[in-house]
Every structure is written in structure tokens, then in C-alpha cells.
Structure 1
Amino acid sequence: MTTEHSGTSDTGVPNADPGRALGSPAWKKRFHSARLHCVRPAGADPRTALVIDNGRVSSSGRILSQIDGNWEVSQTLPFPVGFDGAISADGRWVVGLDDDGGSEVGGLVACSVDGRNRVELTPGRAAYVIRGIDFSVDGRTLLATIVDDEGFHLLSVPVPDWQSNIAPALTSSGATAQAPATETADSASGIADRAGWGTPRVVWSSTDEAWYGHISADGSLLSVDSTDHNPGVRRTAVTVIDASTGAEVAVCDDLPAGPVRAVRFSPISGDQRILLSTERSGFARPAIWDPTTGQRSDFDAMELDGELQPLDWDPRRDRILALHIDEGIHRLILIDTVAGVLEVVRDGTGSYAVPDVAAEFAYEAQSYLADGGVMCFEQSWARPPRLLRIESTSDGSEPATIIAAPDVPKGIEFTSEMIPGAEGTPVQLWWAVPSGEVRGTILSVHGGPNLVTTDAYSPVAQSWLDEGFAYAALNYHGSVSFGRALREGFWTGYGDREIADIRAAMECLAEHGIADPLSSYITGASYGGHLTLLSLGRLPDLFAGGFAIVAMADWATAFAEMNAALRPVWETVLSRGELSFEEACRKLSATSYVEQVRGSAVLFQGARDTRTPPAQARKYVDALRAAGGDVLIEWFDAGHTPTGTTLESEWLTTELELIALTEAGQRWSGSPQPRDSPQPGPPAP
């Protein structure tokens, strides 16, 4: 990472006091250990799963298996595994996107778990973005949902035969068999031959947004969350397609009552039913639908408030695993699909799934079902993720620990409070205070905006608390898990509702005595970075500064470099209301408010980012400097979602140093016109 400013001291910040001791061993230790990022089961046998860890420098993979009744985790796989990694149905291959350092635009690559074979799956095809990866349970087909300049596509790739010896399974010790590389390679490309992988073909395409393709157990049917029926509006239907012909088989469409999303096909060959997530009530509820007959069973759970999000389905045992979320608090629930009875599996210990958006999977991490038990992915604000196995809830026995959390310093749990946000709508605020005197306050706003902050481990939050800062995190208009109305609340208003929610959060914190504007800072990534910079311009009296990570700062400038998966979506969202597209871009862009900014700002920007591209960040920095503002930009050589905990620690160190400058009455930039340093790496593709 290089830094764009001049006059840096040994700490990397201009005029900082080099004698100031920043950070304690306690908070730095939070970033030293790799932590569990997710566990993704193999389709043919969920007793085998890909474990993805976030390490100090990058992410990596391991294989979880049940061998002779015991759960074992392999050594680290001998090749890089990104957060998008998926394991084949037979557990022999890991598939992910080769995107040139994190641009999120590239081509799919398959690696055998022993590291012997690396196969480029779509050679010769123009680069694309991934919006879904799935394998048929019969192990014969990989289905990828891809997006390029031509539209949204379902891409089918035949998988090597299960009996192939190309990719050996795990040894009895749980370690992958390490053998000399014997692949046949193209000397020009360095890529192994196809090793049994078939020729990819596009089965279905649309110019309208489509996400998360799924494939039936026998590979004969495909589904996709589509918007052909309602172009430009992110309220999906589930379209089912014949995998051989590409012909439409059936569509499940609940509009105007709400969107429908496919969760998974039945894992039983010949059973073509699909587990759905529906919103007829305005809140998520499970349903099971047979596209071949039209038969549908809805599980309304009228006795529950909030959402009941289906996570997994075991039709052999007639049960659905669902996540109940009421006012942001999680419970794991099993639904008996025959009797309709609900059973609480786990609650009161944190969160059990992490919703994602604009990604390869609907959940970044989640609990799932395996061999009659529940594999519980659990974490809290103070405790890193771990994987538990719950066999029964009736005998009072404790869950078995399958993958333990790393040893980290003791943390502080957070309080959840529902506060009146924009237009009086309740929004959730998480907050905690340090054990000693409060030095200042950090308000975090998540990205997305269709993401959510849950009761999930945050080494960054705990480190701020270690340093004496109160820490709060806001779920605002746009957040998921609070129903359709709040999730779609950002569609109109052009930032007005989000800004009102942020103001309400600071007012609430002020009532608790922990929101002095002279020592309060706002931070966020992606859309949260956008709201960080927007707040500095529209709420200048509330914050002394802002830390914006991969922020959208100027919407009109961004569109020229934005990847194909996002460009049409945002063009539609910004053209939906009473303003024209150009007027909406101006109102939403932080560059429009630089004259009002009084606090300091720092932008952490990826040189390869295609979601919030570099040019628009540079434009904001130039505009704020021209207005006399105090701003820095820190470049890092990666894309929108860099891996590794070291970078998080480096950013936190920089932020603490910058706050020390504020406390000393100094500018972050050191001078009104700091000298720029070169942007690292090649321009984003």
C-alpha cells in the first residue's frame, strides 16, 4: 500500500508525534490469527466442506471431512482460495474466479484439492463477473451465473467423471495427498489441460438483471432469480429452465406481493422441488415449489415477527433450517415440513449467518444441515466465528465444536437498540462503550446498501474499544433482514433517508453521553464509504472526520469504469424517482457537498476496484482539496474486497494516528496542497 501525502513521519502520517505509542499488544493480537470466514458444504455429501479462512496476508482453504465418524480438517490447500471459492459435489475440486488481483472481473479456474491440476474453465471467453456458483448433486455439472457487457448468463460446464484419479480425496489423517505436479501444461499459458472438464456452454441469457443460478440434483433443470418479468426492478421471480434446451419450464412470481428467490433444489435425484424464500407478508418466509407440477407449500409462521429466512433443506427428514431475525437478533429454527412445527435450535449466542449481496453466494457464511445434524456457524461481536454441530435440542447437551475459534483477547459484547430513524421508521443501532474513560466515538455504516451489521465478530470494533473509543454500528434504510420496506427504503430519496438515520443514531448516542462532535468519526466501506463522505458534507456539525473505505464518492464519474454487473442496476435505481439520472448522481455524490465539509477525511482506495473505481475517488479528493478541505487518499493494490487481516490492522493504525493529529489540532494532510504519490498497480480493467 502506498500513501498519497507528503511530509510523512515514521508512522506514515505527516507531522504525527513519533513518540506516541499507538495500539496495545491486546488489539494487535486480534489481527494475528487467521479466523474462519465460511464453511461451504459439497453438494453430494455435506459431510465434506470447503473451509475458507481469512489469514494475515490473504485467504486460504482447507477441507472438512467426516472420516470414520470423526470430523477432521485438512492442511491448508496448496493454492490460493478466495472468498468466492466453491467445492465440487464430490469434494475433489475447488472453483473460483481468477480476477487479476481482486478486480472481480476475470475467468473461472478449477484446482484439484491436491494441487496437481489447475484448469482454466472458459478459455477464450471475454472476462466476466460471477453472480452465482452451484454444482449438481450428481457431480456432473458446474453452473455459473456470469455477467458481461452482453448481459446475464447461465453457463454450464461438464465436470470430470467422479471415478477419475486426477484429484485424490483426503487421506485418513484429513490432509490432502501431496504429490509432485504431473499435470500436462500448455507451455505458452502455464495452464494445465482440461483434465476431464468439458466445454462450457451458455444455456440461458437475459439483458435484465439475474442472479444466483441453481441446478437440480440430476442436472436436468436450472433456476435463476430473474427480473425479465419486471425489468429494472430488483424484485425477482424464479425462472426454471430446461438444462438441455434452454427452454423455460415454469416461473414462480409473487408480484405485486413481493419477490421470490430460490435457495436450493432438493438434493434427491428426480425430486425437482425448490426451496424458496418469499415475501408475501413483506417479510421473508420459506416455501417449497415444484416447477413441474406447480404445487407449492408456504410456511407462513404467523406466530413469528420479523423474518424467517430459509437456509437449507433436508427433504429426507422433512425439515428446513431457517434463520429467524426479529429486530436484528438471530435464532436458528428447524421447521418440520409435514407437521409445520417450529423448533428453536440455537439462540442467544450471537449470529448464525452473514447475508451478502452482489456476490457469488446469497450468504457470505451460513449454518447448514449435514447428515441429520445442524452445522452451526456461530459468532458474536466479542467472539470470532466457530463451527458447531448440534445433534439434538431435546436432551440439553452442548453442541460439539467442529472448528474452534482462534484465541483472541477478551472482547466486549454490544447492546442492540431500535431507534426512530427517517420518517419515524425503527432502525437498529448496535453500540458499546470501553471499560474506561471514553476518548471519542466511532459510528460505522455498512456497505451494500443491501447488507446488514449483525452480532458478528469485528476485530476492528474491539480494537477501537481497546483504544478507549465508544463504537456504534447502524442498520439504516437499505439494510436487509428487517423486511422489504426497509430494504427498499433507499430506492427513492437519494440519500435523504440514510442521512436522517445517521443523524438519529448520533442523537441517540448523544443521549447516552457518547457523541461529542469534536471527537466523533464516521466510517464505512463501499456504500458505507459513500455515506461516510456524504455525511461529512451533509452533516458537517456531527463529525470531526471520516474514514471511507472503497467509497463511492462521485456517481457520474464511476459509471465509465464500473463493472457490467452493477452498471445497469445503479442506472435504473438512480432513474427511478422524480429526478433525472444526472440530477440523482449530483444529489448522491459527495463531491456535490465539498464546500460544506469541515471535518477531515481519508479514503482507502483499491487500484483494481471495478465497483467503486479509482477515477471517482480521485475526483473527490481533488474537489475537496480545491475547496480547502483536509483529505488524504491511501492506495492499496487490490480490488473492492481485499483479503487478509494485516490490511485491516494497517488501516486502523493509520486512523488512530490521524485522530492523534486532530487531538493535537493538526490537519491530516499536513499542508493545504500535499504532493501526490503514484497510484499503485495497473489501472482497473
Structure 2
Amino acid sequence: MTESNGSVPPAGRDQQDRPVRREMPDWEKRFRAPRVSLPDWAQDAPDRSLFVSNATGTYELYAWDRSTGEQRQATNRPNGTTDGVLSPDGAWIWWFDDKDGDEFGVWRRQPFEGGEDELAVPGLDPSYPAGLALGRDGRTAVIGRSTDEDGTTIHLARIGEAPVEIYRHRESAGVGDLSHDGSLIAIEHTEHGDAMHSALRVLRPDGTTVAELDDSKGGSEELGLEVLGFAPVVGDTRLLVGHQRRGRWEPMVWDVATGEETDLALELPGDVSAEWYPDGSALLVVHGFEARSELFRYDLATRELVEIPTPAGSVSGASARPDGSVEYLWSSAAEPPAVRSTTGAVVLDPPGMKAPRAVPVEDVWVEGPGGRIHALVQKPEGATGPLPTVFDLHGGPTWHDSDSFAAGPAAWVDHGYAVVRVNYRGSTGYGRAWTDALKHRVGLIELEDIAAVREWAVASGLADPARLVLTGGSWGGYLTLLGLGTQPDHWAVGIAAVPVADYVTAYHDEMESLKALDRTLLGGTPEEVPERFEASSPLTYVDRVKAPVYISAGVNDPRCPIRQIENYVKRLQARGAVHEVYRYDAGHGSLVVDERIKQVRLELDFAARHLG
């Protein structure tokens, strides 16, 4: 066993013992190159924007005055800040202040032009965030909070007044949106006990109910709803809602005053989300299908759907501006991300080093036990197999890998590996049935799909069966440890970042909203369904692990807490199993570029040493 502190060897020294400057490799440049998020802009002051950037080496919030071009770093914390909201009047930046990545904290705010931070809502104790909506009057906020003691509470706060609780329930819930005139509050809740499928409720500011929308059936065919936003027009009671009534996510318009539902019935095969154009006359539609996405404009009067041309790849965010143009954040596996506009203008182009291109992905479809499995494959240009191959598993589980730029997989490719990413059952973007399929046999179902793709990779000549690396972060880290124990002969090396390792202890230590998700996935608590938790826990199979194991963990992680990882490590240590552990002072991952590079370097080194 090795306990690593993450130290990085120097670049080297010459014969006179002088330091030699190391040429930065492309994989490291992809992490260090300055990036920006899609700018969020103030509804009533569209020249004022807020975005996230890693320009200083740590991801922080930045204020941008488009009228002058001035950009200002708004937050500066050792472990970074990404959770921020611009008030509709553009006067204030709200940001969530936690401790070293533990996600437990309070909202603070500062003037857009700069100045001292202040506690945004005095009178509310620290909590996990459960949504935030800010009023156009500049003095109203709806704050969602989650704690182990109270479940979810939602408060209405006005400047100069004590916050008032308007909602409380033991199950998970969250703030959806506040109407344009501040008279209606939409929330998502799971009072029916299924944390994967929300119902909707619209409240008045005093907490009384205006309307309910619930597609849950109380059985195996649960359907979910999500709040996409109120119409941006004074007095308009239309709420844009996402639903799953036809087996995938689609938008509809629900008038909460009359109860009328307008089904848009868009003829698109994949998952569809949408947001309002600023005048409320049209919708900006984002269509995700088979790991790629595209944009459309939908006119509500004519019901005409018009494609907005974008390059092949993935749109990870889009926004319609008051002049009718659309700004969007685009990338592909080969091309680094860029904030583009339908006007043809460059929206944000951070100065400094540019990220080198990476190799494109190839699509692979494999027949699996639950249907066709989509995998994305990258390999070094010109390389022929069989190659050492990394199976890089995404987190979530309700997420998916896409044709978008990712520095991690590109680093493996730069070092001579093929990379396979599997959108296993539980992934989004392939219909509700595919996403919901993993219930009760959690982890085991995903690994059946991964095994099927592994078999294809070996049989096709891509992958060397003696040099297969299983890796992933969060849920991907969980599947890595579970796979090493349940499929011990399939993998030569395992690398798990911030994983679930001991499911029972993880359940008792994790944040309340994740406890609700685990009860949904497994059908109860560890005390109610112990056999399911045991079957799905990596700790159950730790004595069967043959491959060398590398684990990294954030000591402040509320999602995959450190104690349950230590339990797994002790079992490895008792067996004398080959393993290394790296603990770092942050939460569920790091927002510090140097730290992220350090982790990737340690992972690459571990794989190289143990694959020979």
C-alpha cells in the first residue's frame, strides 16, 4: 500500500544540478487553458453578465459589464466558487459560500460593481442548497434548504424582514422558479417518495397552494416533471414544464391559473428541454440525441420549429438574448469549448493559452442484456490494436457521456491508450426506460452493460485484454470498485475517484437528498432492504479484488464521504492487496487546476507502473 500526498516530481536537473524547465505536454495544456462558462445575464439589465472561469487557476465567478467590456473577478476562495446567480435587476451577485467543498453553507451577495460581501439572508442557518429564485423587485428571494434534521424547507425572504418558511417536507424538494411579477412560486417535490421523479406545486408567497401537477402513478411506471421557467411577461401565468409522458423528456406549457396544458408534441427523437425567449413569444429548444445536441426555435403562435445551425458536437448551454440572437457554449470531443453566437460574433474569448485539439470520438453500438448500448471510443491517431484500453465510466448515474471536449480522456489517449466511455443503463438521453432500468439491482445492471462493451472491445481487436483499466469518478468510481470485485478477471488496474465504496456507511453519512435517491434506487433504507445494499456494495466483494487499486478522495466530500472509503481501504490493507490512496482537502472533486492535474498525473503513473 502507498499513502500518497500528491507530490509531483520536479521537471528534472542537468549535470550541474540546475533545474531544467519542463515542456508542458498537450494533456496538461488542456486543463490549464483558460475556460469560460456560458454567461448568465440579468433579465432587466441584459448588459450585465455573470460567468465562471479558471483564468487564475481556480474556477471562480466573474462579473462582466458588456457595455464597457470590463470584467471583474467576483469571488476568490482557496477551493473555488461556481454556484452563483445574478439578480434580475443586475444589481447583485449571489454566491453560495461553503467550507472547502462540503456544500454546506449560506448564500452571500455583493454589488455587481464590486464591494464587500454580505450575508444575503440573515436568520437562516447553514444548509445544503435546494434552489434559489430572485425577484425582479430587487428585494425578494425564495431559498431552498436541505438538512438532515428538517428535510427540505423553502423560505420567502425580503430585504429588511425575517425569512418566512412557506414549505417543509422530509422528502427532497427544490425551488423551481418565481414568476415575473413575484406572485407565483413553482417548486419540485418528491413527497410521493420517488426521488427520481418529481411532482410540481405552485404556491403563493404566503405558502398556500395555487395548483398541482403530478404524473407519478405510485407504481413501477413513475413519470417525472421538472420546472423550466415561468413566462417572462408581467401577469403571465404560463409555466414551461418538462415531462416524460411519451417515454422521454419533452416540454409543455401549463397555465397554472386555468389548468390548461399545451402539449407541444415536437417531432424530435431524443430528450428535449427548452427555455423562453425574452418576450415570451417563442421557445429556445435544446435537443439531445445519441450523445450529441442541437438547437431550435419554436414559435408558440405558428407552432413552427426552425433549426438553429450549430456544428456537430454538443451544446452544454444556450440562452436567447433580447435582440433575438442566441448564445451557446459548444464543443466536440476534438474541439475545445467556445461561447458562440448566432450573430457570428465571439461572445467570450479568454486570453492566454489555447487548449490543443484532441482526437474525435467514434460511435459504437453493442447488443447488451437490456438493449443496444451506445459507447464512445477514442484512440491515438494511426494506432492499431490491440491497445491498452481505459474504460472511463461517467458519474450520475443519471448523466451521459457525449461528443464534447473532455481533458481527462484526452490525457489517456495522449499516453497511448484507447478510451471507451459507455452510456450504460441509468444514463440519460436514451429514453426514460433506459434511465430507470437500474432500480433495485443498482450497480450490477450497469456492469452488465460495461461487460458487454468490454467483450466487443476485445473481440474487435481494439483492446488488449491483459491491459484493461477500469476508472471513473463519483458514480463511475463506485462502478469501478464494484466492477473490480464482481468482475475480478476482467480488469488489470482499477482507478476510482471519490467513489461509493461501502454503501451502508455511505448512506448514513451522505447528504439528505442523496439518501432519498438511494431509497428510491434500492427500494428502502439499509435496515429495510439489507440484502439489496449488500448486493450493490463494493465492500461486499473487496476480498475478490485482484487488480491493483488506486483511490482518490476529498476529505470534505458530502456525496461520497471519507469514512466509508476508509472502511474499504482497511479491508484492502488487511489482505495486503496492492493499492494506493490519495486524500485531498476539498469536497466532491476539485475546482483548482493544479490539484486536478496532480490527480491525473498520479492516475497515469499508477496505470503505467502496474501495466508494465
- 1:7, 1:272 → 2: CA distance? 54
User: Which residue in the other structure is 2:144 paired with?
Assistant: 145
Q: Tell me the residue number matched to 2:203.
A: 241
Q: Distance in 2 between matches of 1:55 and 1:501?
A: 39
- 1:162 aligns with none
Q: Deviation at 1:47?
A: 4.3
TM-score using structure 2 length? 0.90
> Unaligned 5+ residue runs, structure 2?
12-20
Deviations 1:375-403 (A, max 9, x none): 11111112222211114xxxxxxx22111
Aligned-pair CA distance for 1:500: 0.6
What pairs up with 1:514-593 in 2 under 5 angstroms? 514-575=462-523, 580-593=528-541
1:251 to 212, 234, 239: 212
Aligned-partner residue type, residue 333 of structure 2: W
Residue type at the aligned position of 1:134: A
8 Å Cα contact 1:62/1:73 also seen in 2 = no
Aligned-partner Cα distance in 1 for 2:363–2:39: 27
- Is the aligned partner of 1:110 residue 2:58? no
Tell me if structure 1 keeps the 8 A contact 2:6–2:599.
no
**1:385 is aligned to 2:385:** no
AA aligned to 1:84 is D
- RMSD across aligned positions (CA): 2.6
| Counterpart selection for 1:75 from 44, 69, 72 | 72
Q: Which moved more, 1:251-260 or 1:3-12?
A: 3-12
Instruction: Give CA-to-partner distance per residue, 1:590-644, whole Å, 9 cap, x none.
Output: 1111122111111110010111101100011111222332111100000113202
- In 2, are the aligned partners of 1:226 and 1:238 still within 8 Å (CA)? yes
Aligned to 1:418: 365
Instruction: Return the letter of the residue paired with 2:233.
Output: I
Helix, strand or coil at the partner of 1:322: strand
Contact 2:27/2:414 (8 A) holds in 1: yes
1:281 and 2:246 aligned: yes
Write the letter of the residue equivalent to 2:183.
Answer: S
Q: Contact between 1:109 and 1:119, CA under 8 Å: does it hold in 2? A: yes
2: distance between equivalents of 1:107 and 1:409? 38
The residue type equivalent to 2:329 in the other structure is: F
Distance 1:8 1:213 in 2: 43
> Residue 660 of structure 1 corresponds to which residue in structure 2?
608
1:138–1:217 Cα contact (<8 Å) kept: no
CA distance in 2, matches of 1:516, 1:157: 59
> How far, CA to CA, are the matches of 1:318 and 1:481 in structure 2?
27
Shift in Å, 1:317: 5.5
Aligned residue among 396, 402, 425 for 1:477: 425
CA distance in structure 2 between the partners assigned to 1:490 and 1:237 by the alignment: 21
Separation in 2, partners of 1:7, 1:322: 44
Alpha-carbon offset, residue 282 of structure 1 = 0.8
Structure 1 letter corresponding to 2:200 = V
Structure 1 residues 366-515: aligned runs within 5 Å: 366-371=317-322, 372-391=324-343, 399-404=344-349, 407-423=354-370, 425-437=371-383, 440-515=388-463
Distance in structure 1 (CA, Å) of the matches to 2:470 and 2:375: 14
Superposition deviation, residue 576 in structure 1 = 5.2
Change (3 A) 1:7 1:566: closer
How far, CA to CA, are the matches of 1:254 and 1:516 in structure 2?
47
Alignment of 1:157-236 (within 5 A): 157-158=157-158, 198-228=161-191, 230-236=192-198
Provide closer, same or farther for how the CA distance between residues 452 and 9 of structure 1 changes in structure 2, counting only shifts above 3 A: closer
| 1:67 aligned counterpart, secondary structure | coil
SS of residue paired to 1:617: helix
SS in 2 for 1:199: coil
Q: Which moved more, 1:25-34 or 1:590-599?
A: 25-34
Relative distance call for 1:238 and 1:315 in structure 2 (3 A) is farther
Which amino acid in 1 is paired with 2:203? I
Please list the CA deviations of residues 23-57 of structure 1 after superposition, one character each: whole Å capped at 9, or x if unmatched: 96222222222212343232334443211113564
2 CA distance for matches of 1:213 and 1:59?
Answer: 26
Q: Which amino acid aligns with 1:88?
A: S
AA partner of residue 372 (structure 2)? P
Give the C-alpha shift of residue 566 in structure 1: 1.8
CA–CA distance in structure 1, aligned partners of residues 507 and 94 of structure 2: 29
Bigger shift: residues 563-572 or 336-345: 563-572
Tell me what 2:293 maps to: 330
Residue 87 (str. 1) matches residue 86 (str. 2)? yes
In the alignment, structure 1 segments of 5+ residues that lack a partner are: 13-20, 160-196, 354-365, 392-398, 665-685
Shift of 1:217: 1.0
Offset of residue 331 of structure 1 = 1.1
Say if 2:488 and 2:544, in contact at 8 Å, map to a contact too.
Answer: yes
> Is 1:44 matched up with 2:44?
yes
Paired residue secondary structure (1:610): coil
Deviation at 1:467, TM superposition (A): 1.1
Name the CA shift for 1:5/1:255 in 2 (closer, same or farther; >3 Å): closer
Partner SS state of residue 352, structure 1? strand
Partners of 2:396 and 2:112 in 1: how far apart?
33
Amino acid at match of 2:360: E
2:599 counterpart letter in structure 1: W
Q: Secondary structure at the match of 1:504?
A: helix
Cα distance in structure 2, aligned partners of 1:333 and 1:577: 43
TM-score after normalising by structure 1:
0.81
Which letter does structure 2 place at the counterpart of 1:413? P
* Residue pair 1:22, 1:656 contacting (<8 A) in 2 also: no
Structure 1 letter corresponding to 2:269: D
Q: Is this contact kept in 2: 1:140–1:219, CA < 8 A?
A: no
Percent identity, aligned pairs only, is: 27
User: Is the 8 Å Cα contact of residues 53 and 61 (structure 2) preserved in structure 1?
Assistant: yes
CA distance in 1, matches of 2:256, 2:277: 18
Q: 1:8 to 1:94 in 2, by over 3 A?
A: closer
Change (3 A) 1:8 1:378: closer
Instruction: Supply the distance in 2 between the matched residues of 1:514 and 1:247 (Cα, whole angstroms).
Output: 60
- The 1-side partners of 2:97 and 2:426 are apart by 31
Aligned to 2:229: 264
Query: Could you say which structure has the greater relative contact order, defined with CA pairs below 8 angstroms and 6 or more residues apart?
Result: 1
Cα distance in 1 for residues equivalent to 2:391 and 2:455: 12
Between 208-217 and 270-279, the greater mean CA deviation after superposition = 208-217
- State how far apart, in whole Å, the 1-side matches of 2:262 and 2:468 are: 50
Q: Name the structure 2 match of 1:356.
A: none
User: Structure 1 pair 628/205, CA: closer, same or farther in 2 (3 Å)?
Assistant: same
- Which amino acid in 1 is paired with 2:251? P
In structure 2, give the amino acid aligned to 1:559. Y
How far 1:525 moved relative to its partner?
1.1
Question: 1:308 is matched with which residue?
Answer: 272
Q: What secondary structure is seen at the aligned counterpart in 1 of 2:61?
A: strand
Shift in Å, 1:528: 0.9
Deviations along 1:474-521, one digit per CA (max 9) or x if unpaired, are 111111122111111222323221011111221222233222232111
